[in-house]
Chain A
Amino acid sequence: MSIAWYLAVSAIVFALGAAGVMTRRNPLVVLLCLELMLNGANLALIAFARMWGNGDGQILAIVVMTVAACEVCIGLGMIVAIYRRNLPIDVDELRELQG
């Protein structure tokens, strides 16, 4: 299959993730949709790396995975902290930035 097909799949996955981030209210699922967007970008990076035949895209994809792991770490820590304070686990309810 030509590179264009992979790019089309990555665009679809990215758009689905963006729609999910805007639709869902549970912050856990919002984090999952962020992962979707990062994975769509990863697929595009690796497709472009294959297109040029050098390694920059693959290294950048690995770095994106590292950043995604850090983001999951911090995000899940925040969700656990919210749960410990008995606040509602809901993005709409948490719109005030006060303790």
Chain B
Amino acid sequence: MSALLFFIGAIGAIGGAVGVVVLRDPFYAVLALVGHLLSLALLFLLLRAEFVAAVQVVVYAGAVMVLYVFVVAYVGEQEVSFGDRLRRGGGPVGSGLRLGAVLVGGAVLVELFIALLGSGLKAIDGYGAGYAPGPRTYGTPAWIGNLLLTRFLLVFEISSFLLLVAAVGAVVLARRRGGLGEPPAELTPLGLTRPLGTGTMAEGVEGRVTPRPAPHAPAPAGQSATEGRVPPQTPVGSASR
């Protein structure tokens, strides 16, 4: 039974990884990664790491992947075509780069196999240390919490600080730089009390008198004779322009 579950998990994990690398649409790549993470959680369960498997499913396959899906939906697919890339002169592209990447990946794989499986450790061929199921044994949340708050307390605090820094950094990076378009009109006491069309410097620069609401802002007595003839919306400073 354990062998069958292992092969299901392993095939799912490797298949999901191949899907992430091969699939062209980023959305399908994210879905393949979700499948990969779920299969990996199954492998973690087989290795008696129950708490880590639960964290993997809830935090990783749940929250982080939702973040990915949001960004993929926001950014969308902006694939630059191959001919466009060639015309702009974009360095080594296409099959040569892909072949090189596959070669380097194969070299990494061989090296990892030599390092991990050829290490001569006798315990690699075993089934792990002794395990007795119980409420506070290996891999349970109580055991992990006990370790995190006693022996690895410094690690715990440093990771919390790292999360804080990352959250602040993401907000700073992704903030709006161009502003929100038109700034909201400010309500100043001067703008409320001053009657419109009284020849302020702003109106002179603007070049036009805004239409004046007649009952609220009666013109001063001396100016009413000259200004009354000027119709609203007449450019005042048009001669200078």
Residues of A with Cβ closer than 8 Å to B? 1-20, 22-24, 26, 28-29, 31-33, 35-36, 39, 42-44, 46-47, 49-55, 58-59, 61-63, 65-74, 76-81, 83-85, 88-90, 92-93, 95
Given contacts A3-B126, A39-B37, A74-B173, contact A63 B44 (CB under 8 A): no
B21→A50 contact, CB < 8 A:
no
A1→B2 contact, CB < 8 A:
yes
Q: When chains A and B are docked, how far (Å) is the Cα of A47 from the Cα of B129? A: 11
**A54 shortest CB reach to chain B, Å:** 8
**B127 shortest CB reach to chain A, Å:** 6
Residues of B with Cβ closer than 8 Å to A? 2-3, 6, 10, 13-14, 17-18, 20-21, 26, 29-30, 33, 36-37, 40, 43-44, 46-49, 51-52, 55-56, 59-60, 64, 67-68, 71-72, 74-75, 77-80, 85, 88, 90-91, 93, 97-98, 100-102, 104-106, 108-109, 112-113, 116-117, 123-131, 138-139, 143-144, 147-148, 152, 155, 159, 162-163, 165-167, 169-174, 176-178
Instruction: Give every chain B residue within 8 A of A92 (Cβ-Cβ).
Output: 85, 90-91, 93
Instruction: Give every chain B residue within 8 A of A79 (Cβ-Cβ).
Output: 71, 75
B14→A72 contact, CB < 8 A:
no
20 extra A-B contacts, CB within 8 A, seeds A20-B20, A77-B170: A6-B47, A15-B108, A16-B105, A26-B79, A28-B29, A28-B75, A29-B29, A36-B21, A43-B13, A44-B116, A46-B44, A59-B147, A63-B159, A68-B60, A69-B59, A70-B165, A76-B174, A80-B71, A83-B75, A84-B176
